[in-house]
């Protein structure tokens, strides 16, 4: 008798729980990609700091883990600011992306910002990796990588190989342990 009384409420509870799972973000159908707005918001912060040549403000954008693990972040920021064009900079997206994981109610997301920046006739490619949420490793939250090069130094070679800037940018993402992967910091070309 008890089994018959508890059966329908338990079945209703299971149906309610299963249907609520459909409200969770996933990488399948219905996943709303917030990367465009997140990348645009981060780009505004980067541009404001860069136009004021404020290395301290740029450094604060980096995640605690990136600040700790980056190789010579101070020199990288100086290079970025010296390479960043002086004057009024216009930028437009050249394709942002998102990578992430979801495990029940926990998420880890990496947003990739790809921008074409210009000052007058000068054109630059700007890239950043930004972790807006990481419920597994909160010290990953923030900017993880940042780089700028003249547009001619980006893309692919005539033989189809990635140029060094694009090769550097391809290393970032979310790893199997839900942590940010790649060498954090600022892109500085090798001589």
Classify 119 as helix, strand or coil: strand
Integer Cα distance of 122 and 147 in angstroms:
16
At 136, which helix (H) or strand (E)? none
- Geometric angle at alpha carbon 107, from 105 and 108, rounded to 5°: 170
Q: Could you give the domains of the chain?
A: 33-186 (3.10.450.50)
Integer Cα distance of 141 and 64 in angstroms:
8
CA distances to 102, 119, 184 from 124, rounded to whole Å, are 34, 9, 21
Integer Cα distance of 179 and 181 in angstroms:
6
CB 144 within 8 A of CB 180: yes
Q: What is the pLDDT of residue 125?
A: 94
Q: What is the pLDDT of residue 41?
A: 92
Predicted confidence pLDDT, tens digits, the chain (191 residues):
545 555 555 554 444 444 444 444 433 333 445 668 888 899 999 999 988 899 999 999 999 999 999 999 999 999 999 988 777 778 888 776 766 667 778 889 899 999 998 877 889 999 999 999 999 999 999 999 999 999 999 989 999 999 999 999 999 999 999 999 999 999 999 87
From the centroid of its chain, how far is CA 37? 12
Q: What is the pLDDT of residue 69?
A: 96
CB 178 within 8 A of CB 136: yes
> Sign of the C-alpha dihedral, residues 71, 72, 77, 79?
negative
Integer Cα distance of 75 and 115 in angstroms:
23
Q: How many residues does the chain have?
A: 191
Q: What is the pLDDT of residue 16?
A: 47
List, in order, residues 6 or more apart from 146 with CB less than 8 Å away: 46, 58, 62, 76, 80, 127, 128, 185, 186, 187
Q: What is the pLDDT of residue 5?
A: 57
**DSSP notation for 49-68:** HHHTT-HHHHHHHB-HHHHH
């Amino acid at each position: 008798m008890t089994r018959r009384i508890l059966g329908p409420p338990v079945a209703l509870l299971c149906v309610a729980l299963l249907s609520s799972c459909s409200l969770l973000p996933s990488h399948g159908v219905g996943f709303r990609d917030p990367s465009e707005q997140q990348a645009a918001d981060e780009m505004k912060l980067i541009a404001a700091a860069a136009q004021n040549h404020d290395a301290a403000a740029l450094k604060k954008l980096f995640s605690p883990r990136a600040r700790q693990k980056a190789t010579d972040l101070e020199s990288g920021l100086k290079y970025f600011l010296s390479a960043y064009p002086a004057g009024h900079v216009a930028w437009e997206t050249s394709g942002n992306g998102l990578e992430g994981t979801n495990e029940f109610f926990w998420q880890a997301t990496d947003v990739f910002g790809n921008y074409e920046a210009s000052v007058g006739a000068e054109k630059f490619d700007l890239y950043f990796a930004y972790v807006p949420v990481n419920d597994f490793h909160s010290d990953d939250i923030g900017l993880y990588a940042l780089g700028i090069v003249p547009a001619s130094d980006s893309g692919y070679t005539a033989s189809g190989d990635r140029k060094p800037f694009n090769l550097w940018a391809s290393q970032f993402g979310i790893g199997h342990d839900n942590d940010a992967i790649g060498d954090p910091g600022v892109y500085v070309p090798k001589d």
